[in-house]
Amino acid sequence: MANETILMLPLYLIGFFSLAAVGLDPLFSKNKKVIYYLSLIGLLEAAISAGYALYLHTLTPAPNIEISYAKNMVSTGGMAYFFDILFCLSGILILLSSPRYFTREYKELSEFYSLILLSVSGMMIMAHSANLLVLFIGIEIMSLSFYILAGFIRIRIMSVEAALKYFLLGAFSTGFLVYGIAMIYGATGTLTLSVIQLSIQTNTINSLYLTIGIGLIIIGLSFKAAIFPFHQWAPDVYHGSPTVIAGFLSAAGKAAAMMAFIIIARAIFGGLSQNNFVKDLYVDVRLVLAVLSAATMLIGNITALVQKNIKRMLAYSSVAHAGYLLMGVVAANERGWSGILFYSTAYILMQIGAFIVISLSERNDEQNLKISEYRGFSKAHPYLAAIMSIFMFSLAGLPPFAGFFGKYYLFTAAVETGYVWLTIVAVISSLISMYFYIGLIIKMYFEDPDTQPMVAESGHAVLALTLSTAGVMIFGIFPSLLMDIAKIFF
Amino acid sequence: MNEIPQGYYLLLAGVLFTIGTIGVLTRRNAIIIFMSIELMLNSVNLTLVAFSSFFGDSSGQIFVFFVMAIAAAEAAVGLAIVLALFRLKKTIYVDEANILKY
């Protein structure tokens, strides 16, 4: 039993600290720093305990097997701990960069820290779900926190409008998701993922309900991950919400939605089924996902080409990255899953890093957000420009940065499983994306500034930038560090 | 008395869900859109309860409680966002919230 406590400790800790941050908020209304440091400590402790549990889990004889606790509600798999650490890391990066940003743009409110913790706890509950009910609760805790975060600067019309759009479409997609879950329940008679897998293997299912359920869940999760044709909200929301939060929504939120894809896909199509209907369905679902993935990356990258606003450009490029991540789900083999893990890590580091750089150069109310205003950025801020270039190279997928190896693993996974056409589309859309990523670098380095140099006061954001740059470089030069860990979970 | 077949419950739920979807897609008032979303969630609740009673398994009904709780939380957050919009723009029509576009 002591063992169980240690294995569940990350969830206990993040839950405790997120509630503590909410509860202690009124006591420390004068000194915002108390809640700030409390939240940082909470995220760090959760990450460390998840790391320890991950270490314990790799020692077990079969680390790819997930063990369920609490009456098959909560699972403790290696993937869950991996994503725990990832979500805590993204929360830490955002926390480090936010106080100065909010003091500058609006005012520092300690609710922000508790909301970040709450959304991270929602994502971690998703990661540990062994039951569709738990998965749904996790998604909703995450999404509700996201809606509030998007509209956090409530005196600014853009922020509120982003929150309204995000809320209406998010709640709409929740309807589809939960209808899909109800249909899966109707098909199999259970909400426990392992039992669903068992009943699909033993062919005690209603195939009509299963098909409808899978379709609705794909729609619901595609909304959350901003996958074509449900990506329309993403650019508006990421553009309107405060910059650091846009980084959080687009990176961590997307990784969490992809993780939900992995969990559900492994549960439904995990075991080799004797059922011919399910086998056919599997082929069809993968084809649909492949088409969605191809369309997502093309639409995302092509629309990003013509953007004038840097946040909007990164928002469209984040749509494209959701397409790349979806390739791993299409491949649905060991390499595909671990490729998603690797790419999520790289993507969280580079996307949040890029948004932090933008948040540093942004000035009150939409100043310095046009791409043309980045002309000659390197003259005024050589370090920031260098870091931004690293993130852009990594997002474009150039070696030796982490983004390259993430793409490499996902592309080879798709080729291995016979989706050569999808890989060709992905390579073409990567080439298209070079234009705007490299274009920004050219603007920063080879053009003369026509505005006054921007002043950036960084505070703790320097730490966040150092962390993410170091991560992008290290995982780019030594990808096996991460890949060797990611491989053993599947 | 004859029992109502399971399919009827599911059909009713499906019809309600479709009405909710159409409401979301066609209406322009944020509150009405939100009400349509609630209708969608309630149709899902009906589906879950129907399946639950069909299987004689309680987990579907327990799911309904969670859906209801989450819908309530969603209402709190959503109405606050609509209120924030109203304070700034004096409107709750979503087509008038159109600063963010290409």
Model pLDDT for residues A111-156, shown as the tens digit of each residue: 888 899 999 999 999 999 888 999 999 999 999 999 999 988 888 8
Whole-number pLDDT of residue B44: 93
Q: Which residues of A400-427 are buried (b: 16+ CB within 10 A; e: fewer)?
A: ebbbbbbbbbbbebbeebebeebbebbe
Q: Which DSSP category does A70 fall into?
A: T
Whole-number pLDDT of residue A291: 92
Cβ contact, residue pair A163, B73, below 8 Å: no
Residue with tokens 């700034």: B88
Which residue does chain A place closest to B75, by CA atoms? A171
Which of A 128-157 lie inside 8 A of B, CB atoms? 133, 136-137, 140, 144, 147-148, 151, 154-155, 157
d(CA A402, CA A476): 4
Give the tokens for residue A342: 């690797």
More reliable by pLDDT, A432 or A64: A432
pTM: 0.91
pLDDT in tens, A8-61: 888 889 999 989 888 888 888 778 788 888 889 999 999 999 888 888 887 777
d(CA B93, CA A431): 41
pLDDT in tens, B33-49: 999 999 999 999 999 99
pLDDT in tens, A153-197: 888 888 888 899 899 999 999 999 999 999 999 888 888 888 888
Residues above pLDDT 90, as percent of chain A: 27
Cβ contact, residue pair A163, B94, below 8 Å: no
Alpha helices in A67-110 (DSSP H): 78-105
Beta bridge partners, A67, equal A76
At B2, the pLDDT band (50, 70, 90 cuts) reads low
Give the tokens for residue B55: 């299987």
Cβ contact, residue pair A154, B84, below 8 Å: yes
Q: Is the pLDDT of residue A337 over 70?
A: yes
Q: How far is Cα of residue A7 from the mean position of the Cα atoms in its chain?
A: 23
Q: What is the mean pLDDT of residues B66-92?
A: 90
Cβ contact, residue pair A147, B77, below 8 Å: yes
Whole-number pLDDT of residue B54: 86
Cβ contact, residue pair B57, A189, below 8 Å: yes
Cβ contact, residue pair A158, B33, below 8 Å: no
Residue with tokens 């349509």: B36
Cβ atoms of A387 and A469 closer than 8 Å: yes
B99 CB within 8 Å of a chain A CB:
yes
B1 CB within 8 Å of a chain A CB:
no
- Chain B residues within an 8 Å CB radius of A165: 94, 97, 100
Give the tokens for residue A302: 């092509």
d(CA A123, CA B13): 30
Q: Three-state SS for B77?
A: helix
d(CA B40, CA A222): 18
Give the tokens for residue A169: 């479409």
**d(CA A165, nearest CA chain B) in Å:** 8
Q: What is the mean pLDDT of residues B90-94?
A: 82
Beta bridge partners, A192, equal A131
- Chain B residues within an 8 Å CB radius of A172: 24, 37, 40
Cβ contact, residue pair B17, A179, below 8 Å: yes
pLDDT in tens, A429-487: 999 988 888 888 888 888 777 666 566 677 788 888 888 888 888 888 888 888 888 78
Q: Where are the domains of chain A?
A: 2-488
The secondary element (H helix, E strand) that includes residue A171 is helix A157-188
Whole-number pLDDT of residue A1: 42
Q: Give the end-to-end CA distance of chain A in Å, rounded to a whole number.
A: 26
Whole-number pLDDT of residue B68: 93
Among A169, A172, A176, A313, which would you mutate to test the B interface (most chain B Cβ atoms within 10 Å of its Cβ)? A172
Which of B 7-36 lie inside 8 A of A, CB atoms? 10, 17, 20-21, 24, 30, 33-34
Q: Is the pLDDT of residue A300 over 60?
A: yes
At A293, the pLDDT band (50, 70, 90 cuts) reads very high
Beta bridge partners, A129, equal A74
Which residue does chain B place closest to A138, by CA atoms? B70
Cβ atoms of A394 and A403 closer than 8 Å: yes
**d(CA B3, nearest CA chain A) in Å:** 19
* pLDDT, mean over chain A: 86
Cβ atoms of A348 and A466 closer than 8 Å: no
**d(CA A86, nearest CA chain B) in Å:** 26
Cβ atoms of A97 and A460 closer than 8 Å: yes
Q: How far is Cα of residue A432 from the mean position of the Cα atoms in its chain?
A: 23
Q: What is the mean pLDDT of residues A282-294?
A: 90
Q: Is the pLDDT of residue A74 over 90?
A: no
Among B24, B43, B44, which would you mutate to test the A interface (most chain A Cβ atoms within 10 Å of its Cβ)? B44
Whole-number pLDDT of residue B101: 66
Q: How far is Cα of residue A49 from the mean position of the Cα atoms in its chain?
A: 21
Which residue does chain A place closest to B74, by CA atoms? A144
d(CA A69, CA A84): 17
Mind listing the domains of chain B with CATH numbers?
6-89 (1.10.287.3510)
Cβ contact, residue pair A160, B81, below 8 Å: yes
Q: Is the pLDDT of residue A205 over 90?
A: no
